[in-house]
């Protein structure tokens, strides 16, 4: 315990003043030394009866002054701590810039403050914040009011540094500048402040200019404070050494906070750029899928935002905060990322025979060959007739008629096969039986007999609905599992940790019949349920699918109503989608006029 602490303990008992606050200052060596000297003198005087009252009174005065000083110091420290906490927690750069200026002004009792940041090429100081309490001015930041002042040039055209402007001088040299009165200062050009004063009636006097240095000691900005004021008199005074140190400390914290905020912003932008690049890759692989992703994102967020507005009903207790909305948006953007590994011909399979190309062309070429072969056989038969019986006209006509009927049947079969190949053609048992009969017919090429259709062609053409075989359907459905596997490799931050789960669950169903994990209602998060409705409705009404015509609005609504009745989609999400007319808002933006078969305007 120091001498000062002993003194406090003894005097506490004698005078009855609470000294706990002064204990805080016991480590202040200068203050401790000063008080030791004064108390020593007072103690010597107190032994003389005539001075005992004076000494006690003087001691009380000292204690009062020290207490006041300590309280002020604690207020400064508390304020500095509060500013530090605010700086470290704020992620919005514009708000952070305002916090830096407001915090520095508060800690130094300055009337005005300006904050500059360096441009990307480090050629200029750009005005970001301009606050002046006397003039009631708040420009830049979140104020919505733009600063129209020109940027401050750091280097002249000949490459020499601009030291005439105090802010550029600080940005170039990294030196702190403390000016008691700008009108009396030498070495800097204060034309700007003087013009401002002349135009507004303001009087610029004391100025403190401090560089903002990041963790690598690089200057990223400049903080400029104007007109420090005495707390009691409100008179403009120079910035004190104590205030300079405090503001310098704030500036150091601010630079780190600003660097961190920029880093977070840059990482966020990088991450979104990565997502957009993935969407672009899918778009290049399948143009309609890229449009599908964007539309699912839009529709998903429309429903989420509508849920946030609910104050009654089954969804009133659900609310998505800012992070949860971002998490859902990212999930929607990434929900089809697994299609990167899906073969392109399956993603875009417009017809049943399509692989790398539509094999119907090969079949058409084959049937033309078969027809030509029939013609060749017919010609050979006619040559034989002419050799043996040149005047047998009846025999020639029989051959021609047979050839004509056979060729006609060949092209009729070809036309039937073309119809079977179309995506919208439903294959019932009768059609499949007819297809098999055609397939069993044969033709000869180079002395080898071939069937009209291969087994694989028959298998694909026999697809009853759509264009995908069972094997291809499993491949396309595998994209949801691949989405999960791909996204699980990305180290999402905690607030976005559910993105892989939500994105991979957009094909799950409430009754557990979906894929890839067969999740049922109780295991299916609300985010996935929203995306399921968005994904289905977009697919039903999409006008750019190569394998099907787009449905009208009422057709699509009937199908999702059936899905609700069958327990495939969440009934509350369905009710939201229909009763809140979300489908109408979507239709106005995305559907062709001929698809909108109900009045929505």
Average pLDDT over residues 165-192: 92
Burial class (CB in 10 A: 0-12, 13-18, 19+), 446: exposed
Helix ranges (H only) for 462-525 are 470-488, 499-504
- Does the global pTM surpass 0.95? no
Same domain, 77 and 103: no
Residue pair 279/333 in contact (Cβ under 8 Å)? The answer is yes
Q: Among residues 199, 229, 264, which one ends one of the domains?
A: 264
Supply the DSSP symbol for 163: -
Q: Which of residues 30 and 194 earns the better pLDDT score? A: 194
Least confident of 149-163, 470-484, 521-535, 549-563: 470-484
Average pLDDT over residues 551-564: 92
C-alpha torsion 401→406→407→412, nearest 10: 130
The Cα-based distances of 312 to 307, 308, 309 in angstroms read: 10, 11, 9
pLDDT band at 62 (very low <50, low <70, confident <90, very high): low
> How many CB atoms are located within 10 Å of the residue 349 CB?
23
14 pLDDT more than 50: no
pLDDT band at 2 (very low <50, low <70, confident <90, very high): very low
501 pLDDT more than 70: yes
Same domain, 104 and 189: yes
Structural domain of 192: 94-264
> How many CB atoms are located within 10 Å of the residue 513 CB?
12
In a domain, 568, yes or no: no
Supply the angle between the helices 287-308 and 526-541 in degrees, to the nearest 10. Answer: 130
Instruction: Provide the domain count of the chain.
Output: 4
pLDDT band at 323 (very low <50, low <70, confident <90, very high): very high
458 pLDDT more than 80: yes
Same domain, 133 and 248: yes
Same domain, 370 and 244: no
Q: Are strands 110-118 and 236-237 parallel, antiparallel or unpaired?
A: unpaired
In a domain, 280, yes or no: no
Same domain, 343 and 403: no
pLDDT band at 23 (very low <50, low <70, confident <90, very high): very low
In a domain, 421, yes or no: yes
Average pLDDT over residues 254-275: 79
Quickly count helices (H) and strands (E) in the chain: 21, 10
C-alpha span between 534 and 526 (Å, rounded)? 13
Residue with tokens 């004391």: 206
Q: Which of residues 56 and 520 earns the better pLDDT score? A: 520
pLDDT band at 22 (very low <50, low <70, confident <90, very high): very low
In a domain, 520, yes or no: no
487 pLDDT more than 70: yes
The three-class DSSP label of residue 139 is strand
Q: For position 238, what pLDDT does the model report?
A: 94
Same domain, 451 and 489: no
Q: Dihedral sign, CA of 85, 90, 93, 96?
A: negative
Same domain, 328 and 342: yes
Q: Among residues 28, 59, 81, which one ends one of the domains?
A: 81
In a domain, 203, yes or no: yes
- Residue-wise pLDDT for 338-364, tens only, equals 887 777 666 666 676 766 567 888 899
Q: For position 498, what pLDDT does the model report?
A: 95
C-alpha span between 552 and 583 (Å, rounded)? 12
pLDDT band at 417 (very low <50, low <70, confident <90, very high): very high
pLDDT band at 34 (very low <50, low <70, confident <90, very high): low
Least confident of 164-173, 266-275, 399-408: 266-275
Same domain, 166 and 177: yes
Average pLDDT over residues 32-53: 55
Same domain, 44 and 116: no
85 pLDDT more than 70: no
Q: For position 47, what pLDDT does the model report?
A: 56
In a domain, 195, yes or no: yes
Same domain, 204 and 152: yes
Q: Are strands 110-118 and 219-229 parallel, antiparallel or unpaired?
A: antiparallel
Q: For position 152, what pLDDT does the model report?
A: 93
In a domain, 115, yes or no: yes
pLDDT band at 4 (very low <50, low <70, confident <90, very high): very low
Q: For position 32, what pLDDT does the model report?
A: 56
Q: For position 141, what pLDDT does the model report?
A: 87
Least confident of 242-256, 371-385, 407-421: 242-256
Same domain, 63 and 112: no
Average pLDDT over residues 527-553: 86
Same domain, 123 and 215: yes
73 pLDDT more than 50: yes
pLDDT band at 287 (very low <50, low <70, confident <90, very high): low
Q: Among residues 211, 230, 264, which one ends one of the domains?
A: 264
CATH of residue 105's domain is: 3.30.450.40
In a domain, 523, yes or no: no
């Amino acid at each position: 315990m120091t001498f000062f602490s002993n003194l406090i303990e003894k005097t506490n008992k004698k005078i009855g003043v609470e000294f706990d606050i002064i204990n805080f200052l016991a480590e202040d060596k200068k203050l401790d030394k000063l008080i030791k000297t004064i108390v020593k003198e007072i103690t010597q005087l107190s032994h003389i009866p005539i001075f005992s009252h004076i000494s006690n009174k003087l001691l009380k005065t000292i204690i009062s002054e020290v207490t006041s000083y300590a309280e002020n110091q604690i207020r400064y420290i508390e304020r500095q701590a509060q500013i530090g906490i605010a700086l470290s927690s704020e992620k919005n750069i514009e708000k952070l810039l305002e916090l830096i200026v407001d915090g520095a002004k508060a800690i130094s009792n300055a009337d005005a403050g300006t904050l500059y940041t360096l441009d990307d090429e480090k050629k200029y100081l750009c005005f970001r914040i301009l606050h002046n309490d006397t003039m009631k001015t708040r420009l830049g930041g979140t104020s919505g009011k733009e600063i129209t002042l020109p940027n401050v040039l750091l280097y002249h055209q000949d490459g020499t540094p601009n030291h005439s402007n105090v802010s550029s001088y600080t940005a170039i040299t990294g030196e702190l500048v403390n000016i008691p009165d700008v009108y009396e200062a030498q070495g800097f050009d204060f034309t700007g402040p003087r013009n401002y004063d002349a135009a507004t009636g303001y009087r610029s006097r004391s100025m403190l200019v401090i560089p903002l240095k990041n963790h690598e000691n690089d200057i990223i900005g400049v903080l400029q404070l104007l007109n420090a004021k005495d707390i009691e008199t409100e008179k403009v005074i120079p910035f004190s050494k104590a205030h300079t140190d405090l503001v310098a400390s704030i500036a150091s914290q601010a630079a780190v906070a600003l660097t961190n905020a920029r880093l977070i912003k840059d990482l966020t932008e990088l991450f979104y750029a990565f997502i957009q690049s993935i969407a672009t890759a899918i778009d290049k692989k399948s143009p309609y899928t890229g449009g599908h992703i964007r539309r699912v994102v839009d529709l998903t967020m429309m429903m989420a935002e509508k849920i946030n507005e609910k104050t009654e009903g089954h969804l009133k207790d659900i609310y998505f905060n800012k992070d949860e909305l971002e998490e859902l948006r990212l999930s929607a953007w990434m929900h089809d990322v697994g299609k990167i590994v899906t073969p392109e011909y399956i993603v875009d399979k417009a017809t049943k025979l399509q692989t790398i190309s539509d094999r119907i062309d090969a079949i058409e070429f084959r049937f033309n060959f078969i027809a030509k072969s029939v013609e060749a056989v017919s010609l050979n038969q006619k040559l034989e007739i002419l050799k043996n019986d040149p005047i047998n006209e009846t025999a020639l006509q029989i051959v021609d008629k047979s050839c004509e009927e056979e060729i006609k049947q060949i092209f009729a079969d070809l036309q039937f096969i073309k119809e079977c190949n179309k995506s919208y053609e439903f294959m019932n048992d009768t059609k499949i039986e007819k297809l098999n009969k055609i397939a069993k017919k044969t033709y000869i090429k180079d002395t080898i007999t071939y069937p009209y259709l291969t087994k694989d062609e028959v298998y694909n053409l026999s697809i009853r609905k759509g264009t995908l075989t069972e094997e291809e359907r499993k491949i396309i459905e595998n994209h949801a599992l691949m989405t999960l596997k791909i996204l699980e490799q990305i180290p999402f931050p905690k607030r976005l940790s559910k993105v892989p789960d939500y994105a991979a669950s957009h094909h799950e169903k409430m009754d557990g019949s979906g894929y890839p994990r067969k999740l049922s209602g109780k295991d299916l998060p609300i985010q996935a349920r929203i995306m399921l409705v968005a994904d289905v409705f977009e697919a039903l009404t999409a006008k750019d699918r190569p394998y099907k015509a787009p449905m009208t609005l009422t057709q699509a609504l009937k199908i999702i109503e059936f899905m609700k009745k069958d327990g495939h989609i969440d009934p509350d999400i369905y009710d939201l989608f229909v009763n809140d007319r979300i489908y109408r808002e979507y239709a106005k933006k995305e559907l062709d006029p001929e698809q909108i078969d109900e009045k929505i305007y």
